[in-house]
Structure 1
Amino acid sequence: MIYIYNCYGGTHSSVLAAAYHLKRLDETREPTKKEILNSHNFNELVYKDRGKLYLHGIDEEGNKVYTVGRGRSKVLIPGMYNLIEMLQNEGVLNEKVIFSNCSPTVPLPMTFGGLFSRWLKIDFIGVPLLIMGAKQAYRNIVQLVHFTKDTAKNTESKLLLLDNKRFG
């Protein structure tokens, strides 16, 4: 199975979802500043990285966990979905693929933190806001990861697109 967590920049909420999925962050408590900042690709990606798939690792069940930033595009994820569907129909790809939207978990501090840090390059304002937002969002992100994994295991469909609106 392949999990693809996606969000606006692909460097905050989706990265944290991948870290919780892979058990690199402890889901039983709020993450520390150091743990957040040390998460793979956290606050590192820039505009040109949008649309690129980043492998974060393989989970305890042998499933690959990826992230992708979609920016403002309304067509990137549907296009990827369509490509995967075609590959599955042609017998080229035989794995189940789950897209999970992490954007509904993003609180206001994380939104502004991303704006200041990634767009305006003002880290001394942006990073503290990102840390605050990551701490605020951690329960919702953990719930989203559990929902994503449970839905993937309990459906026969080979391709899923989860919008996750209920986590906002």
Structure 2
Amino acid sequence: MIYIYNCYGGTHSSILGVAYHLKMLDETREPTKDEILKLPNFNKLIYGNRGELFYYGSDEDGNQVYAVGRGRSKVLIPGLFNLATMFHKQNVLNEKIIFSNTSPTVPLPMTLGGMFSRWLKLDFIGVPLLVKGAKQSYKNIIKLVNHTKKAAKEDTSGVIILDNNEFKKK
């Protein structure tokens, strides 16, 4: 299987999803500031990286785990879905692919932190907000990752898109 976590920039919530999926972060406790900031590509990607798939490793079952930033695009994930579906139909690709949207887990501090840090280049304001948001959302992201793994095992489709709107903060 191939897991592709996606969010707006591909550098915050999707990286946290990847980190919990690959056990880079401990699920039993809130992550520390240092653990968050040391994650690969956390708060490092730029606008030009949108749409670029980044491979982060294989999980305990040998499944490949990726992240992608989709920006404001409403067509990137459906386009990738259609491409993967076509490859399945033509027997070019036999791996199940799961696109899992991590954006619903993003709390306000993470949104603001991303804006300050990535757009305005004001890390002294943005990074503390990103860390606060990552700490606020960690339980929700863990639930989303577990839901993603469960859906991947239960769904018989070759390609799956999970919008994960049930994980929105209320």
Which residue of structure 1 lines up, in the alignment, with residue 31 of structure 2? 31
Check if 1:52 corresponds to 2:36. Answer: no
Unaligned runs of at least 5 residues, structure 2: none
Q: Percent identity?
A: 68
- The DSSP-based 3-state class of the residue aligned with 2:4 is strand
- What are the equivalent positions in structure 2 for 1:126-141 lying under 5 Å apart? 126-141=126-141
Aligned letter for 2:25? L
**Displacement of 1:85:** 0.5
**Displacement of 1:156:** 1.1
CA distance in 2, matches of 1:151, 1:75: 23
**Displacement of 1:8:** 0.2
- The DSSP-based 3-state class of the residue aligned with 1:121 is coil
**Displacement of 1:40:** 0.9
- The DSSP-based 3-state class of the residue aligned with 1:16 is helix
Which residue of structure 1 lines up, in the alignment, with residue 163 of structure 2? 163
CA distance in 2, matches of 1:27, 1:64: 20
After the TM superposition, which parts of structure 1 deviate over 3 Å for at least 4 consecutive aligned residues? none
**Displacement of 1:73:** 0.4
Check if 1:77 corresponds to 2:111. Answer: no
- The DSSP-based 3-state class of the residue aligned with 1:71 is coil
Aligned letter for 2:13? S
CA distance in 2, matches of 1:44, 1:88: 33
**Displacement of 1:83:** 0.5
**Displacement of 1:155:** 1.5
Check if 1:93 corresponds to 2:93. Answer: yes
Segment of structure 1 superposing worse, 149-158 or 131-140: 149-158
- The DSSP-based 3-state class of the residue aligned with 2:88 is helix
How far does the alpha carbon of each residue in 1:78-103 deviate from its partner, in whole angstroms, 9 at most, with x for none?
Answer: 00111001111110000000000000
CA distance in 1, matches of 2:133, 2:123: 14
Check if 1:7 corresponds to 2:7. Answer: yes
Which residue of structure 2 lines up, in the alignment, with residue 41 of structure 1? 41
CA distance in 1, matches of 2:59, 2:130: 26
Aligned letter for 2:9? G
Compute the TM-score of the two structures, normalised by the length of structure 1.
0.99
**Displacement of 1:157:** 1.0
Which residue of structure 1 lines up, in the alignment, with residue 154 of structure 2? 154
Compute the TM-score of the two structures, normalised by the length of structure 2.
0.98
CA distance in 1, matches of 2:40, 2:139: 19
How far does the alpha carbon of each residue in 1:49-72 deviate from its partner, in whole angstroms, 9 at most, with x for none?
Answer: 000000010000000000000000
Query: Superposition RMSD on alpha carbons, in Å?
Result: 0.4
CA distance in 2, matches of 1:73, 1:151: 24
CA distance in 2, matches of 1:110, 1:155: 31
**Displacement of 1:154:** 1.1
Which residue of structure 1 lines up, in the alignment, with residue 22 of structure 2? 22
**Displacement of 1:37:** 0.3
Unaligned runs of at least 5 residues, structure 1: none
